[in-house]
């Protein structure tokens, strides 16, 4: 019976090709537009570390006070060197790390090769475990380098490949920003997106999507006076000169992350932060009530607007477009089905049940849905490949086609078309055979 209905459907669709093509194009265009924008949204709202994000929190400490606070009353997004050091040394979380980003020039040991710029981060050893960094060679630099500021570096697979070819690079020397570092480890394909871990890395549009080229120990970076490449934020009356003034200042530039496995740990850490701020008040550094924050990773992403608002708005409007295409399909199917009252009347008179009519017309609609879905697949693929011209490079790099996206495209168009066909099919099934036969 199914095959018979397929045949009937095909025949009917062929009888009015213009209408059929119109419906298929509408469904295809509608589904493709929502799928393209959905793919972009999905790529950007994805959890960068699904298995860990619930345990990671970013503390913020108000070391600027009401006079320098932003209008929403939020404390600075980063920490000052003093506060970062205090939180590191307090060891109140399971793990904690201080991170800031830097751009350094790399001079290859081979004098014939031109120097180039690399981008990476200063962090503490705990970061590797906290963010589930994978290694193909070696590992972190160990506690001693963290404490004493040893010249160790962890390279990305790409940079290691670029510098040393395929050869094992562990223990080799790399000249970064005028200092020599020893390679302690080479990272695997670790690259959580968006790069939530350092303030400033999230909203940068250029060079995004690439994994960090390197990590160096936090203490080493501070000793070598390596600035944060995003820049420090200072209160307006800061008038220090030089690196040592900066370290003593209330200027903020260091991102801080703690790993807190249980809710009790989170409560305890909040308590600790408030205690720390109160203590700073007692020694006269803060003249205001503690105003701290402890946001989870996902709350943090939301707070810093990691998802460009373009992406959400275009998704919303694309959904609207699909809705219009659906309403349209309902109308066109209604026209198509009602035109065949006579045929329905004959079939009903010859003994077809209402149910048979339902099945026949829903199958016909399903065929339109499949055709629309195939067109939608094609348009979605074109759209994703051409994404660079719609969204900024960052979004475009993250978006990709996979089986789930393709499956969802096809499923959406079939389900949507069948839903659109419900009302027209119901009307078709209501056709009175006697009336139709009489009027013909």
Partner 1 sequence: MATMQIRPILAALRHHRGATALIVLQIALTLGIVCNALFIIQQRREHMARPTGIDEANLAVVHNQWIGKFTTDQLNAMTLGDLAALRQLPGVGDAYADYTYPAVGPGAQLLSVRYTREQPKKTSYAESYYADEHTLSTLGLKLVAGRNFRPDEIRAIGDADNFTPAVIIITQDLAERLFQQQSAVGRAIYIRDMPSTIVGVIEHLQVPAIGTHSFAYCSILLPLRSGDVNNGGSYYLLRAKPGQLNNVVRTAPAKLLTLNRMRVLDEEGGAQPYSVLRAVGYASDRGMALLLGMICAVLLAATVGGIVGLSSFWVSQRQKQIGIRRAIGATRGDILRYYHTENFLIVSFGIVLGMLLALALNLTLMKYYELPRLPLYYLPMGAVVLWLLGQLAVLGPAVRAAAVSPVTATRSV
Hey, which residues between 6 and 45 contact partner 1 (CB under 8 A)? 19, 22, 25-26, 29-30, 33, 37
**Any contact of residue 4 with partner 1 (CB under 8 A)?**
no
Specify burial of residue 353 (Cβ count, 10 A radius: 0-12, 13-18, 19+). exposed
C-alpha to C-alpha distance for 88 and 61, rounded to whole angstroms? 14
CB closer to partner 1 out of 323 and 415: 323
**Any contact of residue 240 with partner 1 (CB under 8 A)?**
yes
Question: CA 38 from chain center: how many Å?
Answer: 12
Name which position in 91, 339, 354, 400 contacts partner 1 (CB under 8 A): 339
**Any contact of residue 58 with partner 1 (CB under 8 A)?**
no
CB closer to partner 1 out of 30 and 59: 30
The distance of closest approach from Cβ of residue 170 to partner 1 in the complex, given in angstroms and rounded to an integer, is 25
Going by the DSSP 8-state scheme, the letter that residue 351 receives in this structure is T
CB closer to partner 1 out of 404 and 440: 440
CB closer to partner 1 out of 116 and 435: 116
The distance of closest approach from Cβ of residue 318 to partner 1 in the complex, given in angstroms and rounded to an integer, is 6
**Any contact of residue 85 with partner 1 (CB under 8 A)?**
no
The distance of closest approach from Cβ of residue 184 to partner 1 in the complex, given in angstroms and rounded to an integer, is 22
C-alpha to C-alpha distance for 320 and 224, rounded to whole angstroms? 55
The set of long-range contacts for 174-177, using a CB threshold of 8 Å and a minimum separation of 24, is 174/106, 174/214, 175/106, 175/107, 175/108, 175/109, 176/104, 176/105, 176/106, 176/118, 176/214, 176/216, 177/102, 177/104, 177/105, 177/106, 177/224, 177/226
- Within 97-116, the residues that bind partner 1 by CB under 8 A are 102-105, 107, 115-116
- Within 118-147, the residues that bind partner 1 by CB under 8 A are none
Name which position in 190, 310, 370, 401 contacts partner 1 (CB under 8 A): 310
**Part of the chain binding partner 1 (CB under 8 A), chosen from 126-134, 281-289, 334-342, 368-376:** 334-342
Size of the site for partner 1 (CB under 8 A): 74
Going by the DSSP 8-state scheme, the letter that residue 72 receives in this structure is T
CB closer to partner 1 out of 115 and 261: 115
C-alpha to C-alpha distance for 212 and 204, rounded to whole angstroms? 13
CB closer to partner 1 out of 184 and 234: 234
Q: Which CA distances in Å does 182 have to 142, 143, 145, 150, 202?
A: 13, 15, 11, 9, 29
Question: CA 111 from chain center: how many Å?
Answer: 40
Binding mask 365-404 for partner 1 (x = CB under 8 A): -----------------------xxxxxx-----------
Question: CA 197 from chain center: how many Å?
Answer: 13
The distance of closest approach from Cβ of residue 233 to partner 1 in the complex, given in angstroms and rounded to an integer, is 9
- Within 181-210, the residues that bind partner 1 by CB under 8 A are 205-206
Q: Which CA distances in Å does 330 have to 357, 366, 367, 419, 427?
A: 17, 13, 15, 9, 11
Name which position in 243, 288, 303, 358 contacts partner 1 (CB under 8 A): 243
**Any contact of residue 345 with partner 1 (CB under 8 A)?**
no
Residue 204 tokens read as 């940068």
- Within 147-166, the residues that bind partner 1 by CB under 8 A are none
Name which position in 10, 278, 335, 378 contacts partner 1 (CB under 8 A): 335
Cβ count within 10 A of residue 275: 13
CB closer to partner 1 out of 67 and 147: 67
The distance of closest approach from Cβ of residue 274 to partner 1 in the complex, given in angstroms and rounded to an integer, is 26
CB closer to partner 1 out of 157 and 312: 312
- Within 269-308, the residues that bind partner 1 by CB under 8 A are 308
354: left (phi over 0), alpha (psi -120 to 50) or beta: alpha
C-alpha to C-alpha distance for 376 and 406, rounded to whole angstroms? 9
- Within 209-238, the residues that bind partner 1 by CB under 8 A are 224-232, 234, 236-238
The distance of closest approach from Cβ of residue 341 to partner 1 in the complex, given in angstroms and rounded to an integer, is 9
CB 116 within 8 A of CB 174: no
């Amino acid at each position: 019976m199914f095959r018979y209905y397929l045949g009937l459907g095909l025949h009917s669709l062929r009888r009015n090709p213009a209408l059929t093509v119109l419906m298929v194009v509408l469904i295809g265009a509608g589904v493709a537009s929502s799928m393209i924008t959905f793919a972009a949204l999905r790529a950007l709202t994805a959890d960068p570390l699904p298995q860990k994000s619930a345990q990671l929190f970013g503390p913020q400490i108000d070391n600027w006070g009401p006079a320098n606070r932003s209008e929403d009353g939020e404390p600075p997004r980063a920490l000052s060197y003093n506060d970062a050091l205090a939180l590191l040394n307090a060891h109140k979380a399971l793990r904690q790390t201080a991170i800031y980003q830097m751009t350094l020039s790399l001079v290859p040991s081979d004098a014939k090769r031109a120097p180039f710029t690399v981008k990476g981060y200063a962090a503490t050893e705990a970061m590797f475990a906290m963010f589930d960094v994978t290694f193909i060679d070696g590992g972190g630099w160990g506690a001693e380098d963290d404490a004493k500021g040893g010249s160790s570096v962890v390279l990305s697979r790409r940079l290691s490949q670029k510098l040393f070819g395929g050869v094992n690079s562990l223990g080799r020397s790399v000249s970064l920003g005028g200092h020599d570092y020893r390679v302690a480890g080479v990272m695997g394909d670790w690259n959580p997106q968006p790069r939530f871990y350092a303030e400033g890395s999230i909203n940068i549009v250029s060079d995004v999507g690439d994994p960090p080229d390197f990590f160096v120990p936090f203490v080493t970076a501070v000793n070598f006076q390596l600035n944060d490449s995003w820049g420090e934020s200072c209160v307006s009356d800061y008038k220090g000169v030089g690196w040592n003034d900066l370290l003593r200042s209330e200027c903020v530039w260091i991102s801080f992350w703690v790993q807190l496995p249980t809710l009790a740990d989170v409560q305890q850490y909040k308590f600790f932060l408030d205690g720390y701020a109160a203590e700073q008040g007692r020694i006269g550094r803060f003249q205001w009530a503690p105003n701290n924050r402890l946001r989870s990773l996902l709350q943090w992403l939301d707070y810093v607007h990691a998802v460009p608002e373009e992406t959400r708005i275009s998704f919303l409007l694309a959904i609207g477009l699909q809705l219009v295409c659906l309403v349209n399909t309902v109308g066109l199917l209604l026209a198509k089905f009602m035109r065949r009252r006579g045929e329905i009347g004959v079939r009903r008179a010859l003994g077809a049940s209402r149910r048979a009519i339902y099945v026949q017309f829903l199958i016909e609609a399903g065929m339109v849905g499949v055709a629309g879905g195939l067109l939608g697949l094609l348009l979605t693929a074109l759209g994703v490949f051409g994404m660079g011209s719609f969204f900024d490079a960052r979004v475009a790099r993250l978006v990709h086609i996979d089986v789930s996206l393709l499956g969802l495209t096809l499923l959406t168009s079939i389900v949507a078309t069948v839903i659109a066909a419900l009302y027209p099919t119901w009307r078709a099934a209501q056709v009175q055979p006697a009336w139709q036969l009489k009027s013909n």
